[in-house]
Amino acid sequence: MHKTGIESPQSVWWKPVHRSEKIWFTIAFVWCMVLFAMMPLWHLKGGQNPSGIRTRVAPADYRARVEEFVKTYQVGEESGIPVVEAPPGSDIYLQAQMWQWRPVLRLEKGANYTLHISSLDVLHGFNLYPFNVNFEIVPGYDYALRVSPTEAGDFRIVCDEFCGIGHHLMVGKMVVTDGAAADAAPPTPRTPMQGGDR
């Protein structure tokens, strides 16, 4: 006898499952296993994983690293922000601060970089326009992501974590060149972590 959900079931209600329910349960369970398997599989085979190399860093130390990076590789200036071009394979640094990204990065298509992001003050968000790639930026933490630009072009970095009244002013720039040097240069040194992760 079937009753509603607002009545107390009497005596033993541990009854055999309806056949349709059994079919759906089995299918749903299998689907859940597929969902679960996809994530480790993508770590092995896929090209996009949010793993990174994750370390703690004091905001003052991070600022010092960024300044040294800028001093070493600066090639110009745009809107008062230094433009920096580091050789393929190097560690590159991006600093988020209310309400500015620093520096402007110039990258080469197809080359590998280790992109460090961190914040000097509050939370910020890394949103790569127009590719819609998003990472959280937390003060006190260095998130080092192995990146390899797949397309040349003029990219923007939009802040997508609320960081105060000037949040909408926080737009940075990243330029990917076609890498004419790519054929001349020796094969890019692959970081040991490249491809997949761990």
Partner 1 sequence: MSPETSVAERAAAEPGRPGFRKCPTTGLWVHHQADKLIKANAVVATVALLVGGLAAILVLLTRWQAVHLLSAEMFYRVLTIHGMNMLIFFILFFEMAVLYFASAVLLNCRVPAVKTAWTAFVLMVVGTLMVEWTMFTGRADVLFTSYVPLRAHPAFYLGVILFAVGALMVTTIFFGTLVIAKKEKTYEGSVPLVTFGGLTAAIIAVITLLHGAAIYIPTFFWSLDMMHVDPEVYRLVWWGLGHSSQQINVAAMVSIWYLLGALTVGAVVLNEKISRTAFVLYILFISMASAHHLLVDPGFSPAWKVVNTSYFMYMAVLASMLHGFTVPAGVELGMRLRGFTQGIFGWLRKAPWSDPGFSSLAFSVAIFGFLGGITGVTFGTEQINIIAHNTLRIPGHFHATVVGGTALAFMGVTYYVIPLIFRKQVAFYPLARMQPFFFAIGMLIFSMAMTFAGTFGIPRRHWDITFTGAPFGVEYSPATDLVIAVMAVGGLVAAVGGGMYILVTVWSVFFGKPMGECTAANLKGRVPPGVYEIPARELPAARGEPEPELEEHGRLGTIPGTMILVFVFLAAFVVYYFANWKLLSFVWKIG
> Sign of dihedral through CA atoms 66, 68, 74, 78?
positive
**In the complex, what is the shortest distance from the CB of residue 122 to partner 1, in angstroms, rounded to a whole number?**
5
Residue 128, exposed/middle/buried by CB under 10 A (0-12, 13-18, 19+)? middle
Q: Are strands 74-78 and 81-85 parallel, antiparallel or unpaired?
A: antiparallel
Task: Round the CA-based radius of gyration of the chain to a whole number and report it.
Answer: 24
Nearer CB in complex with partner 1: 9/76: 9
Nearer CB in complex with partner 1: 73/135: 135
Give the pair of three-digit tokens for residue 62.
């991070």
**In the complex, what is the shortest distance from the CB of residue 182 to partner 1, in angstroms, rounded to a whole number?**
15
Nearer CB in complex with partner 1: 88/149: 149
Strand order in the sheet with 91-97: 100-102, 91-97, 113-119
Is residue 122 a contact partner of residue 139, using CB atoms and an 8 Å limit?
A: yes
**In the complex, what is the shortest distance from the CB of residue 107 to partner 1, in angstroms, rounded to a whole number?**
10
Is residue 57 a contact partner of residue 63, using CB atoms and an 8 Å limit?
A: no
**In the complex, what is the shortest distance from the CB of residue 52 to partner 1, in angstroms, rounded to a whole number?**
7
**In the complex, what is the shortest distance from the CB of residue 186 to partner 1, in angstroms, rounded to a whole number?**
20
Nearer CB in complex with partner 1: 69/113: 113
**In the complex, what is the shortest distance from the CB of residue 92 to partner 1, in angstroms, rounded to a whole number?**
13
Residues 6+ apart with CB under 8 A from 171: 101, 156, 157, 158, 159
